[in-house]
């Protein structure tokens, strides 16, 4: 396992410590308004993915693209995209594979297999 | 709360209505419901209209008032409700509450949608208004995508195969062939379904419901109006609504919708029955995998068993758990705001014993209407009254 840091910014409740992918005005656990940005390590596990072949108008130029759901090791679930679009099933990382954030912005996090290019 | 009954129903066919306006579709369906009941429309005390995408696709709002005007209703409160694909079910529940609470003795629920004039990208965009655009929506996730994610996890967890899930498509498409209101009934082989073009992996063409135009309406009345009602009345035993997370991260799991689970528990408690007492079900099969997840969420079968039930014929019209005898959204079509009321229409026909795909001896019917990423759900339970 590489120790390279792959940061991703999420929210942490200053009152109770609850982490959340955000954006969110109130803590989902204690309802405190003190949700503050925090940087966590972007390593996790692939929960599922799908290949969007028929995008809606605003994402037309991106298609086809693969949307993925990843559970970060800190316990937060993120929706984002696979960095490499698997046009064949065999090209995709299996469910449960170790993944790592490799760029993108808020809500559009990009994920790649943690061992990619090593 | 006092008992509420369905006095009349009306519906357009679901499919392409290029030459008919959404107002005309809604007014004709509602007029048919009023005429069938044989009651005076000037006694209707409230109208609720379910619609989701007339704003983005037609540039037309205030449909509730427009439809009431066309129907010649008095100056009653007319309200449009929106809960994505559950809009029709929510309209039904509000009409139910208006009568159950004694606010009025007669209430009209109408659902209407026009979609087929728009191209696929525009329809997908309009439906995507039900995404949370501060969260999952930013990634480009679509509704087929949401169910593609669920399918992949479901098949890995429970070992369901492509052919198992195709059994849902075969059944619903086959049921649709015999429903005169259905848009896309078909006799499809497992091979045709499994080889159709990919839409959103692993969803293929026939796993997805079509875009549709259509309207459906239901007239609800209190018990003291029943003596004047022409058709055999059907009692509304329960009408429950629950919310779920708008975000994937907020769901406990990709293979369940907590809004369905909560609404179902509420409806069973309200009706005082269990899932075993339900004779027939119309549920929200916007995608083939959705029927399996919904049926499990409704407690109709154990977790992981849904695909097997379809493959074994247990959810067929003559099975022990009949689901979507109408053809469901997959075959009947999905004019989103009308769908929840179309489900009531089909269920009332079943309980009157007059459905073209009649479930033998149907006494209790359940409808399930799910909106967005599981952000809104309604579950209704209806019971036949003795003629």
Neighbours of A5 (CB within 10 A): 9
pLDDT tens-digit readout, B231-269? 999 999 999 999 999 999 899 899 999 999 999 999 999
Crossing angle of the two packed helices B143-158 and B162-177, in degrees rounded to 10: 130
- Residues B111, B180, single domain; the answer is no
Q: Is it the case that residue A2 has pLDDT exceeding 80?
A: no
* Model pLDDT, residue A4: 59
- Residues B177, B51, single domain; the answer is no
- Residue B124 and residue A80: Cβ atoms within 8 Å? no
pLDDT tens-digit readout, B18-51? 999 999 999 999 999 999 999 999 999 999 999 9
- Residues B301, B251, single domain; the answer is yes
Expressed as residue numbers, the domain containing B218 is 4-118+211-234
* Model pLDDT, residue B328: 98
Closest-CA distance of chain A to residue B123, Å: 8
- Domains of chain A, residue spans: 7-113
| Weakest-pLDDT range from A36-45, A97-106, B218-227, B239-248 | A97-106
Number of domains in chain B: 2
- Residues B271, B222, single domain; the answer is no
The CATH number given to whatever domain includes residue B91 is 3.40.47.10
- Residues B317, B224, single domain; the answer is no
| Weakest-pLDDT range from A72-86, B77-91, B120-134, B191-205 | B120-134
Give, as one character, the DSSP assignment of residue B160.
-
- Residues B97, B26, single domain; the answer is yes
Confidence of residue A5 (pLDDT cuts 50, 70, 90): low
Confidence of residue B335 (pLDDT cuts 50, 70, 90): very high
Q: Is it the case that residue B368 has pLDDT exceeding 80?
A: yes
Check: CB of residue B322 under 8 Å from CB of residue B315: yes
Identify whether B94 is a catalytic site residue.
no
Q: Is it the case that residue B141 has pLDDT exceeding 90?
A: yes
Percentage of residues of chain A with pLDDT beyond 90: 81
Angle at A116 between CA A99 and CA A72, to 5 degrees: 10
- Residues B83, B162, single domain; the answer is no
* Model pLDDT, residue B100: 98
- Residues B88, B175, single domain; the answer is no
**Options 2.40.50.840, 3.30.565.10, 3.20.20.100, 3.40.50.11540; which CATH number does A7-113 get?**
2.40.50.840
Identify whether B17 is a catalytic site residue.
no
* Model pLDDT, residue A16: 98
Closest-CA distance of chain B to residue A41, Å: 18
- Residues B155, B16, single domain; the answer is no
Instruction: Give the pLDDT mean for B87-111.
Output: 98
Q: Is residue B265, in this structure, part of any structural domain at all?
A: yes
Is the model more confident about B370 or about A108? B370
Q: Is it the case that residue B144 has pLDDT exceeding 90?
A: yes
Average pLDDT of chain A is 92
pLDDT tens-digit readout, B1-22? 999 999 999 999 999 999 999 9
Give, as one character, the DSSP assignment of residue B261.
H
Q: How far apart are CA B215 and CA B112, in angstroms?
A: 4
- Residues B63, B190, single domain; the answer is no
Question: What's the half-sphere exposure (Cβ side, CA atoms, 13 Å) at B358?
Answer: 11
Q: How far apart are CA A38 and CA B220, in angstroms?
A: 53
pLDDT tens-digit readout, B146-166? 999 999 999 999 999 999 999
* Option in A52, A76, A89 nearest B140 (CB): A52
Hey, what are A108's tokens?
């559009």
Q: Is residue B112, in this structure, part of any structural domain at all?
A: yes
- Residue of B85, B208, B209, B255 marked active site: B85
- Residues B202, B260, single domain; the answer is yes
Q: Is residue B126, in this structure, part of any structural domain at all?
A: no
- Residues B81, B186, single domain; the answer is no
- Residue B135 and residue A54: Cβ atoms within 8 Å? no
- Residue B248 and residue A69: Cβ atoms within 8 Å? yes
Question: What ipTM was estimated for this complex?
Answer: 0.94
- Residue B248 and residue A79: Cβ atoms within 8 Å? yes
């Amino acid at each position: 396992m590489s120790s390279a840091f792959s940061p991703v910014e999420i929210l942490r409740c200053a009152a109770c410590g609850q982490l959340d992918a955000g954006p969110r005005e109130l803590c989902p656990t204690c309802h405190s308004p003190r949700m503050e940005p925090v940087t966590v390590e972007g390593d996790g596990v692939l929960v599922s993915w799908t290949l969007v072949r028929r995008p809606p108008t605003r994402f037309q130029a991106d298609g086809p693209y693969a949307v993925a759901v990843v559970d970060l090791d800190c316990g937060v679930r993120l929706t984002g995209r696979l960095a490499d679009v698997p046009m064949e099933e065999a090209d995709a990382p299996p469910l449960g594979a170790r993944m790592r954030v490799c760029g993108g912005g808020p809500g559009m996090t990009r994920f790649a297999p943690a061992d990619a290019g090593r | 709360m006092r008992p509420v009954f369905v006095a009349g129903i009306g519906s357009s066919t679901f499919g392409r209505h290029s030459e008919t306006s959404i107002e005309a579709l809604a007014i004709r369906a509602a007029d048919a419901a009023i005429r069938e009941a044989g009651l005076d429309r000037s006694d209707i005390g409230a109208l609720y209209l379910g619609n989701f995408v007339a704003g983005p696709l037609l540039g037309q709002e205030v449909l509730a008032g427009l439809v009431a005007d066309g129907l010649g209703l008095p100056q009653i409160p007319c309200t449009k409700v929106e809960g994505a694909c559950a809009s029709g079910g929510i309209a039904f529940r509000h009409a139910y509450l208006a009568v159950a609470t004694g606010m009025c003795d007669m209430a009209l629920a109408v659902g209407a949608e026009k979609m087929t004039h728009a191209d696929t990208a525009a329809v997908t965009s309009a439906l995507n208004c039900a995404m949370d655009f501060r969260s999952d929506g930013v990634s480009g996730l679509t509704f087929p995508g949401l169910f593609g994610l669920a399918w992949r996890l479901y098949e890995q967890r429970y070992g369901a195969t492509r052919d198992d899930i195709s059994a849902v498509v075969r059944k619903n498409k086959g049921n649709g062939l015999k429903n005169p209101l259905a848009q896309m009934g078909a006799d499809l082989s497992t091979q045709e379904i499994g080889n159709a073009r990919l839409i959103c992996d692993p969803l293929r063409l026939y796993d997805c419901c079509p875009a549709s135009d259509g309207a459906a309406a239901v007239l609800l009345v209190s018990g003291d109006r029943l003596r004047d009602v022409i058709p055999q009345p059907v009692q509304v035993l329960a009408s429950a609504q629950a919310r779920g997370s708008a975000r994937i991260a907020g769901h406990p799991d990709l293979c369940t919708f907590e809004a369905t689970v909560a609404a179902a528990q509420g409806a069973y408690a309200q009706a005082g029955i269990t899932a075993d007492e339900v004779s027939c079900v119309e549920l929200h099969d916007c995608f083939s995998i959705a029927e399996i997840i919904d049926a499990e969420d409704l407690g109709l079968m154990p977790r992981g068993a849904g695909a097997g039930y379809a493959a074994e014929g247990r959810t067929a019209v003559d099975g022990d758990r009949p689901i979507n005898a109408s053809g469901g959204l997959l075959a009947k079509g999905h004019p989103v705001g009308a769908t929840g009321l179309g489900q009531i229409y089909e269920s009332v026909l079943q309980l009157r014993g007059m459905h073209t795909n009649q479930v033998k001896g149907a006494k209790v019917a359940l409808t399930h209407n799910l909106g967005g990423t599981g952000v809104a759900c309604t579950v209704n339970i209806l019971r036949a009254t003795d003629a």
